[in-house]
């Protein structure tokens, strides 16, 4: 397997993205949540278009778009809270948000706002907790998409080069 080599520019861009993600998680608000949601949708759309245009030459984009869109649909796009509530990442995020914003967790382990289409004004703590979960799901979407892209690159390598140590 080839070693992945990253340029200094790519590492600096990754550092900036991680810093923005941390800032968004610490200062969770509906504005940050909508910004992260929009960026995730744009990144997934661009990788999907790149995968469709370049075809088999864009192996990384195919994996990124496939895994990213699947997680995005399950975590953020399906209406209702049953599908989202079954994700292991959501269970952990709900508890983190409950501890961070001191929002009471229901007996089933979820907050009352999760997945509901409540139109009444919610208390600020619950709005920020919901924004925290949305931001975290967006960041997890991008991370899983990246892992899916790397996995597809690995699968796309010739079989005779996969397990050899020291191959160029």
* pTM of the model as a whole: 0.77
Domain with 79 in it: 8-161
Instruction: Examine residue 116 and state whether it is found in any structural domain, yes or no.
Output: yes
Instruction: Examine residue 1 and state whether it is found in any structural domain, yes or no.
Output: no
Residue recorded with tokens 């089933």? 108
Burial 92-104 (b: 16+ CB within 10 A, else e): ebbeebbeebebe
Structure confidence at residue 145 (pLDDT): 92
DSSP for 45-83, written as a single string: HHHHHHHHHHGGG-HHHHHHHHHHHHHHIIIIISSSSHH
Output the CA angle 99-104-105, nearest 5 degrees: 90
Instruction: Examine residue 100 and state whether it is found in any structural domain, yes or no.
Output: yes
> Going along 91-155, which residue ranges are E strands?
none
Instruction: Examine residue 154 and state whether it is found in any structural domain, yes or no.
Output: yes
Structure confidence at residue 45 (pLDDT): 95
* Series of mean pLDDT values for 10-residue runs along the chain (168 residues): 73 87 86 90 93 87 92 78 72 77 58 48 71 87 91 78 54
Number of domains in the chain: 1
Instruction: Examine residue 149 and state whether it is found in any structural domain, yes or no.
Output: yes
Instruction: Examine residue 30 and state whether it is found in any structural domain, yes or no.
Output: yes
d(CA 113, CA 118): 7
Structure confidence at residue 82 (pLDDT): 65
> Which residues, other chains included, contact 46 with Cβ-Cβ below 8 Å and sequence gap of 6+?
none
Structure confidence at residue 141 (pLDDT): 92
Instruction: Examine residue 168 and state whether it is found in any structural domain, yes or no.
Output: no
Instruction: Examine residue 16 and state whether it is found in any structural domain, yes or no.
Output: yes
């Amino acid at each position: 397997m080839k070693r992945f080599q990253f340029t200094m520019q790519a590492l600096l861009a990754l550092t900036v993205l991680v810093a923005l993600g941390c800032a968004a998680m610490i200062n969770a608000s509906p504005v940050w949540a909508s910004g992260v949601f929009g960026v995730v949708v744009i990144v997934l759309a661009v990788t999907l278009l790149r995968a469709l245009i370049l075809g088999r030459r864009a192996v990384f984009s195919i994996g990124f778009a496939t895994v990213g869109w699947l997680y995005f649909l399950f975590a953020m796009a399906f209406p209702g809270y049953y599908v989202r509530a079954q994700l292991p990442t959501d269970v952990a995020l709900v508890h983190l948000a409950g501890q961070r914003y001191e929002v009471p967790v229901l007996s089933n382990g979820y907050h009352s706002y999760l997945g509901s289409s409540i139109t009444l004004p919610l208390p600020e703590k619950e709005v920020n907790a919901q924004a925290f979960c949305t931001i975290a799901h967006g960041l997890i979407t991008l991370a899983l998409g990246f892992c899916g892209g790397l996995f597809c690159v690995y699968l796309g390598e010739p079989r005779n080069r996969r397990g050899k140590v020291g191959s160029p």
